[in-house]
A and B are shown apart, each in its own frame.
Chain A
């Protein structure tokens, strides 16, 4: 009886999982259908048609033609892809460089006003983009960085969320290990570099995974701070494509999806730890 109950739960959850994965699975399936087959899905979406969309779940004549066309003959796709890689890469790099020492200071030293400052960091970590949008604009406008890549990178670099996540990783390190290194004469930077980072890397990795997925999907910031379409990231460029180019949209969607899925698959444990760490009370 108990076994049957368990099997039932497995089946129910299995169905749920399939339902959750279904819309995402459609993207690669549709992207390899040849044009005669894809038409059944795309033509009804145009206003003039009175038919309904049909989906072939098993492509009859799979083709990689759309990818070829997108990668070989669509230079603006490269520009946009490069924008995304450059922006997200720069954000992650500078974020860690700035946040890791800050987190170290919070985790390892006691100083006046530390609690207040840390709480301030947490409060601003929790504020949505809309609250800080005007503030960011005022600074960016003053530095005349509007409509450049830096307009997205700089505010993200000084976001306080990475400090919080990395702090979690650092505060788990047993103090004895660090103190023994200090007694042996290591200076504080070396303690951070050779002991803190290797032992506290869970926080750094969680930060990389969570922030990558978030910034790869960023919409609000480029929408507000970038006017020049050649500086748009993938996450904003894709929806601007005309629906009549369904084949290009699908191919571009698959390629946008690949880095995110890759990071998700290799970083799932860090992702989970990051989510849990962010939810723990300080």
Chain B
């Protein structure tokens, strides 16, 4: 009798949160999975029709293409540049102020920057003024393909400190005795980096990849606040599409697309987790 009582002691702690999670996340999510196989209005079962519709949808194709392109461009830039900054930062003593400035963009609400983006990147903005003075053509940063790179820049700007911090933690966790021993044996700096530091950082790389990808979806804030629901087609992202479908109440499409995004992210996480586990076993 006492044992069962003991075993249920966790329930009062867990239950309130769990009911909320079931009510607000799990049950409605299973309902939206069900809906992805049904028509929007009547709810008749139509099999994979919704999936077929979105895969033939031009806006969906464009949004997926742009989102993938965005990820493919900005993840390597962010991950590599932040690694080098972290690598150098680890050798310095007075890094408090540098770390603070790198992290600071995380605290800046996107809304407060919208005006500054216009001042700097507008058609007759500050940067175009400088370009003009140097005798270059002015660039329409916000209303042409160039907006893609402005978005990449603002993503890197925002997430650099975050990623540097994760790299620094990873580098610091490699015991110095390892690198010291290698140095005693005559290894130079480059050998230390490639033979010891980098291989030991693989688990860190997996985490950083997942988190950077998830954070890359948040650039919607910048893209939406600066350019609205229908920005230049080079930065029309999946998030715009979800939002526009939502405005038009095309819930069947959202359901199918949400299931797809869920599946992709879920598989991605599982895959990286597997790689990670294998890494730990081999070490």
Contact = CB atoms under 8 A, between A and B. Distances in A.
Interface residues of A, number: 95
User: Which of B23, B89, B111, B162 has the most chain A CB atoms inside 10 A of its CB?
Assistant: B111
Interface in B18-34: 18, 20-21, 23-26, 28-29, 31-32
Contacts, number: 263
A273 B23 CA distance: 30
Contact of B165 (A106, A139, A237, A275): A275
B255 A154 contact: no
B261 A130 contact: yes
A31 to B, nearest CB: 10
B239 A158 contact: no
A213 B103 CA distance: 12
Contacts of A263: 107
Interface string A223-248: 11000000000111111000100100
Interface residues of B, number: 93
Contacts of A237: 111
Q: Is the interface of B mostly helix, strand, loop or mixed?
A: helix
Given A101-B13, A130-B238, A220-B221, A268 B112 contact: no
Main SS class of interface, A? helix
Contacts of A213: 106-107
B280 to A, nearest CB: 9
A139 B23 contact: yes
B254 interface: yes
Interface stretch (B44-52, B72-80, B94-102): B94-102
B261 A128 contact: yes
B186 interface: no
B124 A50 contact: yes
Contact of A220 (B106, B111, B239): B239
Nearest to B218: A128
Contacts of A51: 124
B114 interface: yes
Interface in B234-252: 238-239, 242-243, 246, 251
The 5 closest A-B CB pairs, nearest first, are A52-B129, A158-B20, A135-B28, A102-B17, A109-B10
Interface of A: 6, 9-10, 12-14, 16-17, 20-21, 23-24, 26-27, 30, 41, 44-45, 49-55, 98-99, 101-102, 104-106, 108-109, 111, 117, 120-121, 123-124, 126-128, 130-139, 154-155, 157-158, 160, 163, 188, 192, 213, 216-217, 219-220, 223-224, 234-239, 243, 246, 249-250, 253-254, 256-257, 260-261, 263-264, 268, 271-272, 275-276, 278-281
